[in-house]
A and B are shown apart, each in its own frame.
Chain A
């Protein structure tokens, strides 16, 4: 039953959902145009993934003059297995510098390369980049967190509500345009009913589906995707979740947190199973997905470690007579937070790399998401007409959107993604609102009010929190870092059963910070997102990038790349379409492939050399990396050209 006293009516020009990197950039763009913004955030202001990340950002030309827009756009597209949308990658390349300068105007202060008068880049190009363009920052993501906070606080025409769960976009039922949204304000115990002609969804990812096997914020409950698809948008590449291979498996307080990256495994690091057998060598040259796959294959075969992972063995690096001490310096400085996590969690011996580390993959980033164009406009897809159409007034940015990264994300690109597309979406939303003068009718909101009060159920039998925990366990098992058809079908059945249980969840009638209500809202979003991931994963029956199918065939090099598209045909009922993507010409792919094989061959050659010779060669390599004095803050996936290797997997 609707209780009018519990509804607070508000009005603004644009609603921004999320207060992290994307949300703050979007809010700034709208505020600069003079319009009024309401920022809705379920966590405290700016306490987002941007705040807790490694703080390395891709800025074109920062470390290399020969870094054209085309070069960067192609790098992303090739790394993403040809799944990225060309116009979106081009927009990324076009705006990365201007977006970075905007953050600097708001208080981000990098180290400066005084000779070139540019922000200083990290010593080696990393995470699959083919140019030096990753800029590190002191205090990692926290420096960005301050900027996001400051940006939202700066403008008097930005109003913000934290502790507030955005529920759904409200649309005009006749022309499908956005007329506002509804949100549960837990702190004030109200249902916010907000009229606005545009809504920007910048509410992050879905890694909490795999909690505690994730290194991201608790709030990543797939809200973006669930809200998006309920509002009619298509979801693209939903099977493409990026897992970090080397995260902690124990003790519980550290479970899921980052311990290292393929690059920090260094020249002699290998992965071993519980029988001490090497299951992957040359770890430092491998992609994240390759490492994850090796670990999860061992687990599936019963050769995994006690906590469902494998062992990252770096002891050979340490034991080397001359290069050993350089290795330790490298390990500690390359990823300081990760190293500290590992040392605290695994103990002193592990901290000295004298014993192997037990590691297990963790969910890190959703590369798929709401289908958008290069301005952040959300798109729907009509199967009947085979046509893509934009939903007027609906925008998405950051991890919420899909189409930029495809099947693999280059290191340090997400901070650029949020700054570029947050601002683009804000800009376009402002233009849309200024053109649109019609009045918004109250009637569109009524069904949403009714639906909200239907969430309460005093006689409910199930506890939402416990269902959530069960869903998290099942998600890891069935749609986690390694998948197969049998598990995916089991997940589909499980999710349908869970839908039935949701109808019978206990939610007491209480408006003031109702945790049962919050858990139920989030659980529903997690279920819908999990359904989208499952359906997309079933239809991608081979491994590609972040999607690992243990039962998959090898993809043929000539086959045409496609993206999966998830649509909602009836309430909570999903269906799938595939859209074709343009393939990068064969010559370029072959070039990358040969390069990768060559590097693996060289690595193998060094490994079989006599110890003293091997030691000297590696010592020289460390000196080159460490000698540049620039502090390494983050090291991401395998290496330079490692990422494109995923194209043919």
Chain B
């Protein structure tokens, strides 16, 4: 028999302390299979009126509602709840309050990365690999397991600092620019330079054991990291793997 309620645990962060609270979700009908977001919304309505969490479109598009469910990053709007789930903030970014993490250290490391003039013929079509990359919703699930991002110091500084070390999202942005048919050849060196300055070398060393997962199913290793490594360091990786 279906239960009428679902018990979950929510990890809150307040006054520099982190602690778990239990919330019992009341199903709206017996066979409802709620998402994590439904639970958070009900918890704010019924119990914790200042529960802090992000959400936007509720349809897996805007990429801002990512939280950790039992330690793994998931989009709250499209993750079904199971009994005893633990909902906690993304472990890969600094927590501000409850489930809110500070995200802007990631985009800030990319400021000025695409300062490329492209006043040439605009009626050129981009290939499929280019469009595969625009499917990215910037949910930051890919930070989990990234050996480079791990090196960043996550302490919050007052003046919005950029992270020095890269991550699959930033590399995706670079790769997209690299394969853009409108990017002039002479600019491509700069893109690779940027990738190297973000620590691409680390990916080269750890490529075989690299376990990064995209929140919307983009093949990050094959479509982002591998092609960047190939241009940046020649074909050494391929040879090694063979």
Contacts and interface: CB of A to CB of B under 8 A. Distances in A.
Q: Which 10 A-B pairs have the closest CB atoms?
A: A109-B126, A513-B97, A52-B61, A515-B50, A138-B131, A463-B49, A52-B57, A515-B52, A253-B35, A104-B122
Interface string B42-73: 00110001111011111101111000000000
A112 interface: yes
A138 B64 CA distance: 21
Interface string A159-202: 01111000000000000000000000011100000000000000
A513 B100 contact: yes
Interface string A59-74: 0000000000000000
Nearest to A508: B50
Nearest to A158: B111
Given A43-B56, A150-B114, A253-B35, A162 B104 contact: yes
A212 B57 CA distance: 10
Interface of A: 43-45, 47, 51-52, 101, 104-105, 107, 109, 111-112, 117-119, 138-139, 141-143, 145-146, 149-150, 153-156, 160-163, 186-188, 212, 215-219, 251-254, 256-257, 337, 341, 463-466, 469, 508, 512-516, 519
Interface string B61-101: 11110000000000001000000000000000000111010
Given A105-B119, A112-B124, A153-B110, A253 B134 contact: no
A109 B125 contact: yes
Contacts of A160: 104
A341 B59 contact: yes
Interface stretch (B135-143, B185-193, B220-228, B229-237): B135-143
14 contacts: A52-B61, A101-B122, A105-B119, A138-B131, A139-B135, A141-B61, A142-B136, A153-B111, A155-B115, A251-B32, A337-B59, A465-B45, A466-B45, A515-B97
A219 B56 contact: yes
B226 to A, nearest CB: 21
Contacts, number: 156
Contacts of A154: 112, 114-115
A105 B119 CA distance: 7
Interface of B: 28, 32-35, 37-38, 44-45, 49-52, 54-59, 61-64, 77, 96-98, 100, 102-104, 107, 110-115, 118-119, 122-126, 130-131, 134-138, 158, 160, 173, 176-177, 180-182
Nearest to B183: A107
Contacts of B59: 52, 215, 257, 337, 341
A163 B178 CA distance: 30
Given A45-B104, A150-B114, A142 B61 contact: yes
A139 B134 contact: yes
Contacts of A141: 61
Contacts of B176: 107, 146
A519 B62 CA distance: 21
A569 B119 CA distance: 49
A186 B173 CA distance: 27
Contacts of B173: 150
Interface centre among A101, A146, A163, A514 (most CB of B within 10 A): A146
Contacts of B56: 43, 47, 52, 217-219
A149 B130 CA distance: 17
